[in-house]
Amino acid sequence: MNIKTSIIGVSGYTGLELVKLLLTHSTFTLVGVYASENHQDIASLHPSLKNVVKLPIQEVNIEKIAKECELVFLALPHQKAMEYAKVLLDKNIKVVDLSADYRLSLEKYEQYYCSHSDKENLQKAVYGLPEYNRANISKTNLVANPGCYPTATLLALLPFVEYLDNAHSVYIDAKSGVSGAGKKLVQTSHFVTINENLFAYSPISHRHSPEINEQLKKIGKIQQKTLFVPHLIPLTRGMLISVYARLKEQIDPIDILLKRYKSEPFIRVRENCVQIKNVVGTHFCDIYAKADEKDLFITSSIDNLLRGASSQALANANLMFGLDECLGLPQIAYAP
């Protein structure tokens, strides 16, 4: 089987990660890379790919893409992605969208982002968290790839939803490397700002907060209030989530995690606190939890560019085409 694939939006970090993953995939063949920047080829845009692959950077031509491809990854900013997704879906191309355009309900999307121009497909999109949505992912033509913070948070918290005391809020303390802010230089990601520094940003009002809440309600069936506070840390990539919650009863949290994820090849339940270095460069999500009577602490870690974006997009694409979900997913961490 040879499934021809394109990426629209290869100039950013997630676009680069997708290129690297697809170059070694046994079934998906990367035939087209597209960006708005004026570059001769992919190696001139990403010098790390020199002498690795020769692919010309092209301007987006939907008719050409539709003739060449069965699958398109959209690694674009919000609002721009939905413009292409609608046309591609009309031409029976399967789409994995890495932006936020199809992750939220219409009301929440327009509250936190902008007016939505593809309301019909917004209703059809499947949220691409494989551990909780495999069956639906395998039947859809449009996957809304989850955000990095929601991925790490949901995988950590969802096994415990039936044990939570609904009278108490859930507190989510999240820390991410600078690559999560994207390639565009802003004051907070300037070297002299982030070096030897750590700070919170968009506390409680971050755009990933409604995504976390909606999926907790949809998948976990809980109405609990969450308080989500992200922090920027002086690392290139990787993120660590700490969740604090109140339980209805005493439990063994490690036993619960082991039972829920015993068949999940890319969830690793740790015996002590997780470390970013163990997951960077991989598709793994590492999770640890501990309870003190009715107080619960959960911590998880992922590579924000891979499990939080590009390798999760690949896992979703594998499922959409009936392939082994694990095909082409990275397992070896960049440690030390």
Residue 163 above 90 pLDDT? yes
The full 3-state SS of 70-108, as one line of letters, equals CEEEECCCCCHHHHHHHHHHHCCCEEEECCCCCCCCHHH
In this prediction, residue 258 carries a pLDDT of 98
Range of lowest pLDDT (6-20, 36-50, 152-166): 36-50
What are the pLDDT digits (tens) for 94-144? 999 999 999 999 999 999 999 999 999 999 999 999 999 999 999 999 999
196 and 55 inside one domain:
no
Its pTM stands at 0.97
CATH assignment at residue 279: 3.30.360.10
Say whether both 188 and 239 belong to one domain. Answer: yes
Which of the listed residues 78, 107, 124 is the one where a domain comes to its end? 124
Residue 55 in domain: yes
Q: Which residue has the tokens 């959409």?
A: 320
Q: Are residues 13 and 106 in the same domain?
A: yes
Residues 191 and 118 placed together within one structural domain of the fold: no
Candidates 69, 114, 148, 273; catalytic one: 148
For residue 160, the model assigns a pLDDT of 97
Q: How many domains does the chain have?
A: 2
User: Would you say residue 146 has pLDDT above 80?
Assistant: yes
Domain annotation covers residue 291: yes
199-252 pLDDT, tens digit per residue, is: 999 999 999 999 999 999 999 988 788 999 999 999 999 999 999 999 999 999
Beta strands in the chain (DSSP E): 3-8, 28-34, 57-58, 71-74, 94-97, 126-127, 142-144, 170-176, 199-200, 226-232, 239-246, 267-269, 285-292, 295-302
Residue 179 lies in a domain: yes
Is residue 155 domain-shared with residue 103, that is, in the same domain? Answer: no
* 105 & 153 share domain: no
294 in the same domain as 160 = yes
E-only strand ranges, 184-261: 199-200, 226-232, 239-246
Residue 72 lies in a domain: yes
Q: What is the CATH number of the domain that holds 38?
A: 3.40.50.720
* Residue 184: per-residue pLDDT: 81
Domain that holds residue 168: 149-304
Q: Are residues 119 and 156 in the same domain?
A: no
Q: Is residue 130 part of a domain?
A: no
Looking at residue 279, its pLDDT comes to 98
pLDDT in the model for residue 135: 98
Would 323 be classed as within a structural domain? Answer: no
Task: Indicate whether 169 and 115 sit together in one domain.
Answer: no
Clarify whether residues 163 and 118 are in a common domain: no
Residue where the block lists tokens 């859930």: 170
Chain segment 19-78, per-residue pLDDT in tens: 999 999 999 999 999 998 777 899 999 999 999 999 999 999 999 999 999 999 999 999
pLDDT digits (tens, 9 = 90+) for 278-326: 999 999 999 999 999 999 999 999 999 999 999 999 999 999 999 999 9
Q: Could you tell me if 155 and 277 lie in one domain?
A: yes
In a domain, 17, yes or no: yes
Q: In this structure, is residue 63 part of a structural domain?
A: yes
Predicted local distance difference test score (pLDDT) of residue 50: 96
Indicate if 65 and 175 belong to the same structural domain: no
Tell me the pLDDT band of 181, cut-offs 50, 70 and 90.
Answer: confident
Question: 285 catalytic, yes or no?
Answer: no
